[in-house]
Amino acid sequence: MTSDSRLEKILEEGHFAVTSECGPPRGVGPEVIQKKGEILKGVVDSVNVTDNQTSVVRMSSWSAGVLLKQMGINPVYQMVTRDRNRIAIQSDILGAASLGINTILCLSGDHQKFGDHEAAANVYDLDSIHLIQTVKLMRDDKKFLGGDELKGEPRMFIGAAANPFADPFEFRVVRLAKKINAGAQFIQTQCIFNIERFKKWMEMVRDRGLHEKAHILGGVTPLKSIGMAKYIKNMVPGMDVPDELIERIKGVEKEKRAEEGIKICIETIQQVREIEGVHGVHIMAIEWEEMVPRIADEAGLLPRPAAQ
């Protein structure tokens, strides 16, 4: 074990892992995050805490993570390289680890153009692969990027994201390999709507043997409505929502469309689970966390095993 992460234990013990996520509030109130935590507790193995997602300012990811930790939930500390240089990054990693955070997801982050501070400078001192290398260097070599030794290493289970639906498609697996070579131990993918493309990507992953070097968790998102499906398809870069899926939701009565979205999500989980090399699912129910217990239950993912 490289960490005390519950997610690492679950995966290393060979269980099919289930993770979810919650976005911190745009204010100081801890109750928002606690409410989401209550919903997800016991239903998933770990909860990702997003880091100013879509570049909209929110409570810091590590502090919301600590709030979850206090509830007995294993938070996955998402960290983007957009807002911090290597000095702040290493400092935050030390701080988070000292507060008991043991799982980190290394990301480059959405461009600030999408957020509420378009005029902000972006940092990108490091990219996501450098961030993975940095955490690993601190944990395994007990060193800072600058070369000095650190006293008391952050024992972090290191994760990264992969988007099988962005372009150039053939390069996506190369990029995954780079992340794994850099030190990523688990991978959470972008939301899977196009299962065929995901299968093809996993085939390429297996061809390189990457599924044996890191745990891959397929990302899923329940679609609430046609509007949401179309928004994701057309407005969110690097997302692939096939027309058949939209047609399927369109095919049912308006009141039953959210239900159909849940059904599709459950089916996707079941299909993803069948794919060789997939070790878990990451359920991203965007502002719909209350549906996660039901999805996990109906997809046959409950009860969650107790990690040894």
Partner 1 sequence: MVIGEGKPLQDVLAMVSQNKKIIVAGCRGCVTVCCAGGEKEVGVLSAALNLARQKDDNPIEIHEVTLERQCDTEYLEQVRSFIDEYEAVVSIACGAGVQFMAEMYRKIPIYPGINTNFIGVTEQQGVWAERCQACGNCKLHFTGGICPVTRCAKRLMNGPCGGSTQGKCEVDPETTCGWQLIYDVLKEQGRLDKLEHIIPVSDWSTSRDGGPRRIVREDLKL
Residues binding partner 1 (CB under 8 A): 82, 86, 108-111, 113-114, 122, 124-130, 133-134, 145, 161-163, 166-168, 171, 174-175, 177-178, 181-182, 190, 237-238
Residue 278 makes CB contacts below 8 A (sequence gap 6+) with 202, 211, 216, 217, 218, 272
Of 78 and 163, nearer to partner 1 (C-beta) is 163
31: region left, alpha or beta (phi > 0 left; psi from -120 to 50 alpha): alpha
Q: How far is the CB of 288 from partner 1 (least distance, A)?
A: 22
Provide, rounded to whole angstroms, the least separation between the CB of residue 240 and partner 1. 9
In angstroms, what is the minimal distance from the CB of 100 to partner 1? 28
DSSP string for residues in 69-116? HHTT--EEEEEESSS--HHHHHHHHHHHHHTT--EEEEE----GGGSS
Which amino acid is residue 143, in one-letter code?
K
For the bound state, the minimum distance from the C-beta of residue 306 to partner 1, rounded and expressed in Å, comes to: 34
- Is the CB of residue 18 less than 8 Å from the CB of residue 167? no
Helix (H), strand (E) at residue 271? helix 257-274
- Rounded distance between C-alpha atoms, residue 50 and residue 65, angstroms: 9
Tokens of 120: 């902000």
Least distance CB 108 / partner 1 (angstroms) = 5
Nearer to partner 1, 116 or 127 (CB): 127
* Residues in CB range of 200: below 8 A, 6 or more apart: none
Query: Please, which residue, 145 or 204, has the CB nearer to partner 1?
Result: 145
Give the containing element (helix H, strand E) for 181. helix 169-182
Q: How far apart are CB 160 and partner 1 at their closest, in Å?
A: 11
Instruction: Pick between residue 5 and residue 189 the one whose CB is nearest to partner 1.
Output: 189
CB of 219 to partner 1, least distance (A): 11
Question: Which residues have a Cβ under 8 Å from the Cβ of 207 and sit 6 or more positions away?
Answer: none
Q: E-assigned strands of the chain? A: 17-22, 46-49, 75-80, 103-107, 157-162, 186-191, 215-220, 278-283
Tell me the residue type at 270.
Answer: Q
Question: Which residue, 205 or 258, is less far from partner 1 as judged by CB?
Answer: 205
Q: CA dist 77 to 5, 32, 73, 157, Å?
A: 11, 17, 12, 10
Residue 233 Cβ, how far from partner 1 at the closest point, in Å? 11
